Amino acid sequence: MSPSRTGRSTSRSVRSGYAVVWSVIVAASSSIASSCGRSPRRASEFPRLRIRTRCGWQDERVSPRRTPRPSFGIGSIRVRPGHSRELEIPITTLVTGTTVSLPVRVIHGREDGPTAWIDAAIHGDEVVGVEVVRQVMSRLSARTLRGTLIAVPIVNVFGFTAGRRYLPDRRDLNRSFPGSARGSLAARIAHLMMTEVVDKCSVGIDLHTGSDRRSNLPQIRCDLDDPETRALAEAFHAPVMYHARLRDGSLRYAARERGARVLLYEGGEAWRMDDWAVEAAVDGVLRVLAHLDMVDPGVAPPAPETPSLVSRRSGWVRATTTGILHTEVELGDVVRERDRLGSLTNSFGRTLRVVRADRDGIVIGRTEAPLVNRGDAIVHIAEVERPVETSTGEDVSDPTELAAPDEAAAVERNKEQP
């Protein structure tokens, strides 16, 4: 007898065996049910019967199979569901022949879900975000993540390795999006970031810190008029949510044009690790992932009971003279108009100016420079949103300067308001 006929004969025998076994089970059930005074159960009421044969597990009633999740393609590789991969996407080649690449890590979950990204160091001197990405990724698992998360810890590789904010040609990478495959170095990096990362995602978190010896209170800047973006910001739960207009050439602007919702996080100071800024960002990112149902709620820490403050208008108080700055307010302090923020003195300690708040609000930024020149930004104050919104949402860069006109007046004000 041929092998094919033998296989068909065996298959018919197995099916016949199923029928006999099933008939015996149904008959036994009818007999037991009758003896107990209950009506017999129909065959369709029995759970699915699984009988093992030499051919493997067989189902009496076959349910449709679940389509496996496809692999995730990025760069030249594909990441299988339930796996995590680190890779480098080439940017350019140095004169020495060394390849400069964009470092990327992908966590591709087993289950379907959103695709999101987190990035840091678009400005090369912003190291807080690099640590945030490291801590976030260390708390996630490809076995439990739903959806896909792309992490780019250092976008501006050139600036980061050189210890500079901008690229070698002094271009600001965050004013070069969406970029071009044939443009400047900044344009090429921006284009690579857009095509390999942003275009694959629906949500992004862009991590930043203060610049030029400035420190920032942990805050989220985004389009609060968009309900979906606002929901993400509320889930992040930073101390302050600031409604910031989109800047042409920024990653946030380019991503929004492609349909993605983006949160821009600010916290800490350039070239300094700040535990508060790191912790606030890590907790916020995890809460956003939980909001998107990419991780279980237990992975993200609970939000603080204190609600986020909402602001649509802010401004920097600037120095009206050159001097040594003695700042008297901290990040997060609530101030009233005309409150004392600090003073400017000469090298012998004589008070030249008393610096005062030009509005009510909360301190969201301050300079860390001890020496300031006339016109330098000193303290950044954000107005807290009122029930009736009348603000323009613009960042006031030239606020009214409130300082004593001369030394005598400064001394008198110093006595009046310690």
Band of pLDDT at residue 66, cut at 50, 70 and 90: low
Q: Are the C-beta atoms of 326 and 343 separated by less than 8 Å?
A: yes
Read off the pLDDT of each residue in 212-219 and give the average, rounded to a whole number: 95
Q: Are strands 111-119 and 214-222 parallel, antiparallel or unpaired?
A: unpaired
Q: In whole angstroms, what is the distance from residue 380 CA to residue 364 CA?
A: 6
Render pLDDT for 295-307 as a digit per residue (tens, 0 to 9).
999 999 999 999 9
93 and 52 both lie in a single domain: no
166 and 239 both lie in a single domain: yes
- The two three-digit tokens of residue 16, written as one number: 């016949």
Render pLDDT for 30-65 as a digit per residue (tens, 0 to 9).
544 454 444 544 444 444 434 343 344 444 444 455
Q: In whole angstroms, what is the distance from residue 216 CA to residue 195 CA?
A: 31
CA distances, 375 to each of 318, 360, 365, 386 (Å): 5, 21, 16, 30
Render pLDDT for 338-377 as a digit per residue (tens, 0 to 9).
999 999 999 999 999 999 999 999 999 999 999 999 999 9
The residues with which 340 forms a beta bridge, in sequence order, are 356
Q: In whole angstroms, what is the distance from residue 27 CA to residue 46 CA?
A: 13
H helices of 338-416, where? 407-416
pLDDT of the residue at 279: 98
390 and 297 both lie in a single domain: no
Give domain status of residue 78, yes or no.
no
Other Cβ atoms less than 10 A from the Cβ of 275: the count is: 10
Q: What are phi and psi of 240, to 5 degrees?
A: -135, 135
362 and 388 both lie in a single domain: yes
pLDDT at 10 over 50: no
pLDDT at 24 over 80: no
296 and 329 both lie in a single domain: no
114 and 175 both lie in a single domain: yes
Q: In what helix (H) or strand (E) does residue 25 lie, and over which residues does it extend?
A: helix 3-35
Domain containing residue 319? 313-416
Cβ-Cβ contacts under 8 Å for 41 (sequence gap 6 or more): 29, 33
The helix, strand and coil proportions of the chain, stated in percent and rounded to the nearest 5, come to 30, 30, 40
pLDDT of the residue at 46: 40
Give domain status of residue 338, yes or no.
yes
The total number of structural domains in the chain stands at: 3
Give domain status of residue 387, yes or no.
yes
In terms of Cα–Cα distance, which of 282, 272, 256, 264 is closest to 219? 264
The residues with which 107 forms a beta bridge, in sequence order, are 84, 149
Q: In whole angstroms, what is the distance from residue 221 CA to residue 241 CA?
A: 6
Read off the pLDDT of each residue in 94-99 and give the average, rounded to a whole number: 94
pLDDT at 153 over 70: yes
In terms of Cα–Cα distance, which of 112, 74, 94, 261 is closest to 162? 94
Model pTM greater than 0.75?
yes
379 or 389: whose pLDDT is higher? 379
Q: Are the C-beta atoms of 125 and 172 separated by less than 8 Å?
A: no
137 and 166 both lie in a single domain: yes
180 and 300 both lie in a single domain: yes
Give me the chain's average pLDDT, please.
84
pLDDT of the residue at 260: 98
pLDDT of the residue at 206: 99
Q: What percentage of the chain carries pLDDT values higher than 70?
A: 76
Q: In whole angstroms, what is the distance from residue 261 CA to residue 117 CA?
A: 11
Q: What percentage of the chain carries pLDDT values higher than 90?
A: 75
The residues with which 262 forms a beta bridge, in sequence order, are 204
305 and 317 both lie in a single domain: no
Band of pLDDT at residue 212, cut at 50, 70 and 90: confident
pLDDT of the residue at 67: 76
Q: In whole angstroms, what is the distance from residue 67 CA to residue 64 CA?
A: 9
